[in-house]
Amino acid sequence: MTDLAHDADAGAATALPEVAGVHWRARVDETRLRRTARAWTATTVAHVVPFVGAGAVLFAVEPLAAPVSLASLAHAWIIPELYAQRGANVVRPKRLRADARPAAETRALGLLGDLVGHDARELHGRTGLVMERGHLGIWLVGPAGALLVRPGGHRTHCWCVRVPDPELPVADRIAHLLLALRADEHGFATVANQAFSGATWRVRRRMAALQRPAVDAARVAARDLGRA
């Protein structure tokens, strides 16, 4: 999990200093995202097709081997689900620590509310995620990671990234990541560690029920981007 500490103004347009710490990574852009998407798809296919093929061949050769064939097909289904679970985990809601300070959490929530509009505040109140429109797509930002729903709404990239200060309230963590995203969207995606790239519906089904409306809203907004 990558650490990210950034307190730039929301309107800043400078590169994140953390990018220098991952100088070996190619800067994320449209071309890089498309290549990454193809690579994830190819990897998934390479894992799934052998199990599907083995199940089909076993059943064709020996129908009595149907239980084994079904087990092989189950593996073909489970593998993409495990990948999607890994992606959904980057924004999975976490319980507040026992020593969390309610007053600090409330103040942080107020500061976060000042950074976003009414619709984003309302969505965060229901789901714990902040929706932000970017050049690369529609982002959903949580305290320890972010989802990027690409234009068209069909594919979602999941990134794990966190603010290193363990004492910060949850809303402050989201605010830090949101400011970093606004300052340098491409740098933000470069610094963060990618956990998954795949179908939006697959990520959605692995998320907590309370967070799914955020994905639905992001997918609608991303479809608008795809038509633009």
The pLDDT score that the predictor gives to residue 117 is: 84
Residue 226 makes CB contacts below 8 A (sequence gap 6+) with 151, 152, 153
Is the dihedral angle over the CA atoms 69, 70, 75, 76 positive or is it negative? positive
* pLDDT, tens digit (0-9, with 9 covering 90-100), for 49-89: 988 888 888 878 877 778 888 888 888 899 999 999 999 99
Please name which of 227, 132, 204 lies closest in space to residue 175, comparing C-alpha atoms. Answer: 132
* pLDDT, tens digit (0-9, with 9 covering 90-100), for 87-120: 999 998 876 554 555 666 667 676 777 778 888 8
Are 42 and 48 spatial neighbours (Cβ–Cβ below 8 Å)? Answer: no
**Domain range summary for the chain, segments of one domain joined by +:** 2-36+87-227
The pLDDT score that the predictor gives to residue 1 is: 54
Are 33 and 55 spatial neighbours (Cβ–Cβ below 8 Å)? Answer: no
User: Angle, nearest 10°, between helix axes 30-61 and 66-88?
Assistant: 160
